[in-house]
Amino acid sequence: MPSLINLIEEDRQQQGGEKRSETAGRWQQDSMQKMLTIISNVLRGSASRNGAQVVSEAASMVVSSRSYADFTPEATFDIKKVDLHRLEEGPPLTATLTREEGLKYYRTMQTIRRMELKADQLYKQKIIRGFCHLYDGQEACAVGIEGGITLSDHLITAYRAHGYTLTRGGTVREIMAELTGRRGGIAKGKGGSMHMYTKNFYGGNGIVGAQVPLGAGVALACKYLGNDQLCVSLYGDGAANQGQIFETYNMSSLWKLPIIFICENNQYGMGTSVERSSASTEYYKRGDYIPGLRVDGMDVLCVREATKFAADHCRSGKGPILMELQTYRYHGHSMSDPGVSYRTREEIQEVRSKSDPISMLKDRMLSNNMASIEELKEIDIAVRKEIEDAAQFATTDPEPPLDDLCSHIFATDQPFDVRGATPWTKLTSTS
């Protein structure tokens, strides 16, 4: 055992003794003490503790004892060049990622992924019913956009909204309880999959394309109130052909509204590929007089840098800007769509293996020594546990009470009677 301790000590000295602070020294001493205790316990074969646990504790102690001094706090990555429309310059070609940011993005993306897969599972068990549009594969979009704006900015999207609800401040428990329609849900069980709201997040909208003018209205309010906030208005490749979106381009450009239009191009609108639905698949150019960017939507850093660029453009008063995020969804359009009648399984597998956003971030962090595999595994385990707890809550929470059926019809009104299914049934509505 002395040899093991010596090895560790030498290793640490090699890392650069001058970097050691006083606290680090004390910490190292403590950890050394703990390690010795654990090893001696193993040798003694103490019956009071589980052998495997002791060994894994020792392993993690050995591993983490070489952690914080080793990891790179910050690294710069090359990101894909962005296609530009009516812009002289685009976002930068490199992005800086700190360790904390990396872990945060990893955790959020993993949470979205696990949450969507859990929703899939619960749907197949018929615990979630109705509509359920899953977001796995597109996590980099939600996390990257949130990285480029602040929580005081506004965001509105269409029905594939679970990921955005999370990044905008919702918790997994609330989201899953809303999907199962329980009173602990983010909309108390009355909104469902497509109507989740948080502060400065306006859902979740069921009508394809209708959220884009709503987003422009929010941007108008930001300009009216002069609060230097902006609105991000998302839509898909299917919605990109809607007339009201072009009406919105016109008005937001005319009035120079602080709005970022984002087209999440996941190549398929339900089952129609972009080539079969759009005469022009260059969605970033569809704004015509509005400057546009085409961004790799599977790379969270690319999305973040592009969003920061777009946000600066809006905040400087230049008016709207359009971003097309090229992304992909692994699941079908909704839970009733197996997702393979209009595309091949090989295509899905190819994207999963080559461009998965979580794997991409993980590889980047590991290859630049920004985190260890164990640390990321711990995050995975913690996320899994969080999702399990949330699913448990969502399954066991009671449904909203019948008294709630007619409440919230009108705001700030006195309670009034609402006719039920027959002329003699009356329910009360409270605001």
Residues near another protein, by CB under 8 A: 154, 156, 169, 187-192, 195, 197-199, 202-203, 206-207, 210, 212-222, 224-225, 227, 231, 243-244, 247-248, 250-251, 254-255, 404, 407-414, 416-417, 419, 423-424, 431
- How near is the Cβ of 417 to another protein at its closest, in Å? 6
Pairing between β-strand 74-78 and β-strand 94-98 as defined by DSSP bridges? antiparallel
Q: What is d(CA 312, CA 306) in angstroms, rounded to the nearest whole number?
A: 10
- How near is the Cβ of 247 to another protein at its closest, in Å? 3
Backbone phi, psi, residue 141, to 5°? -65, -55
- How near is the Cβ of 303 to another protein at its closest, in Å? 24
| DSSP codes of every residue in 74-127 | EEEEE-PPPEEES-S--S-SEEEEEHHHHHHHHHHHHHHHHHHHHHHHHHHTTS
Q: Which is closer to another protein, CB of 84 or CB of 405?
A: 405
Contact 406, 418 (CB under 8 A): yes
Give the helix/strand (H/E) hosting 365.
helix 357-367
DSSP state, residue 403: G
Q: Which is closer to another protein, CB of 77 or CB of 255?
A: 255
Q: What is d(CA 254, CA 259) in angstroms, rounded to the nearest whole number?
A: 12
Q: Which is closer to another protein, CB of 156 or CB of 262?
A: 156
- How near is the Cβ of 175 to another protein at its closest, in Å? 14
- How near is the Cβ of 320 to another protein at its closest, in Å? 13
- Residues in Cβ contact with 178 at an 8 Å cutoff, skipping those fewer than 6 apart: 185, 186, 187, 189, 191, 192, 193, 196
Q: What is d(CA 66, CA 70) in angstroms, rounded to the nearest whole number?
A: 7
Q: Which is closer to another protein, CB of 43 or CB of 411?
A: 411
Q: Which is closer to another protein, CB of 326 or CB of 407?
A: 407
Q: Which is closer to another protein, CB of 26 or CB of 199?
A: 199
- How near is the Cβ of 231 to another protein at its closest, in Å? 8
Q: Which is closer to another protein, CB of 217 or CB of 297?
A: 217
Q: What is d(CA 48, CA 279) in angstroms, rounded to the nearest whole number?
A: 71
- Residues in Cβ contact with 388 at an 8 Å cutoff, skipping those fewer than 6 apart: none
- How near is the Cβ of 396 to another protein at its closest, in Å? 20
